[in-house]
Amino acid sequence: MEKQTREEIIDFLKSRVRNIPNFPINGIQFKDVTPLFSTEESLNKLSDALTSTYKDKKITKVVGIESRGFIMAPILAMNLNAGFVPIRKPGKLPADVLEESYEKEYGVDKIQIHKDALSPNDIVLLHDDLLATGGTMLAAYNLVRKSGVKEIYINFIIELEELNGRKIFPQSVDIEALIKFEI
């Protein structure tokens, strides 16, 4: 079997993202990532493509955001010989937590991480499935920064470029998205 280029792999993965019109509300074109996880071929290609970007970054912890960030973050952690840390909605973590609030289109929400989950020596990869407006990931980034880690990288499977989500982050933040869509 002939080795595929990174661009061919990304095109393969992009072709498997399902578009769901008018979900969860009218006018939204929802990008469904679940087909990327449904076959060994697509899951392996997705895992390899995400991992390759960070294999030389000395990542010590991969932090996944509830809930779709929980799918690939542990796989990335295993591939990078790192630990996995969840960021969750309030009331889901049993020990002492750090909390960050953020605004959504329809109100304020909060996310939490265990206070002892990260240390100043950690190099963190923050992962979620999709970058749209960026509010949730910015809150996650601020939450991880409160832990005083050494370095933070941010990664998404998909970016909706026209929503300009990456513009709300400081320019110094390393943000990568594997698949990019215009909406």
Residues involved in catalysis: 68, 105
Q: Which amino acid is at 22?
A: N
Q: How far apart are CA 91 and CA 102, in angstroms?
A: 16
Using a 10 angstrom Cβ sphere, with 0-12 exposed, 13-18 middle and 19 or more buried, the burial of residue 174 is middle
Q: How far apart are CA 65 and CA 76, in angstroms?
A: 13
H/E stretch holding 93 reads none
Angle (CA) 165 171 173, round 5°: 80
Contact between 87 and 116 (Cβ < 8 Å): no
Angle (CA) 54 59 62, round 5°: 95
Q: How far apart are CA 61 and CA 44, in angstroms?
A: 21
